[in-house]
Amino acid sequence: MTDVKKYNFKVVLLGEGAVGKTSLVLQYVHGKFSEAHESTIQASFLTKKINLPGKVANLAIWDTAGQERYHALGPIYYRDSQGAILVYDITDKESFKRVQNWIKELRKMLGEEVCILIAGNKIDLESERAINLATCESYADTVGAHHVSTSAKINKGIDELFFNITKRMIEKADEKASNSLCRNGVSRASSRRSVVVVEDDVPQKKSCCG
């Protein structure tokens, strides 16, 4: 039986209030969408398992509040995250500017360790788009992120969004483990070589009769 490699990842959703973060998570985890909008209070937490060939990823998804009064709590929720999904509303240009601020903050706090995806949500309202798609995709490229167009209402792009960030987190985790293994191997090899050198340099005792 083939061994299955297991991963545990923390993913945080960030963005302005009413951009659809909660709707995206509920659609992805439970396959549900509600027209009624209820603002998230501080943060909510859901889990999802993703199966890939020979691998299983368990996602702990944190849906954070977007209201300004909860902004100071952001670091509490994205601390120790391996992935971050930055959500904006394609009909609200200001919500995209807020995403740019979040990315600066994430890079400052977590560096390149965190995998970032940008979600342009509510593409079911394409006729009301307020920001050019090419501009958003170009920006994502400049910050090492990937852009996905989504709609929680019509369930568009959501599986791609979470699959993409999971794939990136697995690649980064594997790369980190491989680098650690190489460093440890070099360290052990160096240690063994140093012992040999020391042994070679030890003067041989002469026989009292020599």
- The Cα–Cα gap between 162 and 169 comes to 11
Confidence of residue 78 (pLDDT cuts 50, 70, 90): confident
Domain presence at residue 203: no
Confidence of residue 69 (pLDDT cuts 50, 70, 90): very low
Place of tokens 């041989």: 204
Domain presence at residue 108: yes
Q: Number of structural domains, the chain? A: 1
Domain presence at residue 192: no
Domain presence at residue 162: yes
User: pLDDT (tens digit, 9 = 90+) per residue, 93-120?
Assistant: 999 999 999 899 888 888 888 999 999 9
Of the chain, the percentage scoring pLDDT greater than 70 comes to: 77
Q: DSSP string spanning 119-165?
A: EEE-GGGGGG--S-HHHHHHHHHHTT-EEEE-BTTTTBSHHHHHHHH
pLDDT value, residue 6: 96
Domain presence at residue 32: yes
Place of tokens 């992805």: 28
- The Cα–Cα gap between 39 and 17 comes to 7
Tokens of 98: 């807020």
pLDDT value, residue 181: 77
Say yes or no to pLDDT of 192 above 70: no
User: pLDDT (tens digit, 9 = 90+) per residue, 42-64?
Assistant: 457 899 999 999 999 999 999 88
Instruction: Give the lowest-confidence range in 15-19, 153-157, 163-167.
Output: 15-19
Say yes or no to pLDDT of 209 above 90: no
Buried b / exposed e over 69-101, threshold 16 CB at 10 Å, is: ebbeebeebbeebbbbbbbbbbbbeebbebbee
The neighbour count for residue 165, using CB atoms within 10 Å, is 25
CATH code at position 98: 3.40.50.300
Confidence of residue 39 (pLDDT cuts 50, 70, 90): low
> What mean pLDDT, rounded, does the chain reach?
83
Range of the domain at 132: 5-174
pLDDT value, residue 188: 54
Instruction: Please name the amino acid found at residue 91.
Output: T
Tokens of 143: 């910050």
pLDDT value, residue 86: 96
Name which residue leads in pLDDT, 176 or 185.
Answer: 176
Say yes or no to pLDDT of 207 above 90: no
Domain presence at residue 169: yes
Cα atoms found within 13 Å of the Cα of residue 205, Cβ hemisphere only: 3
Domain presence at residue 83: yes
Domain presence at residue 190: no
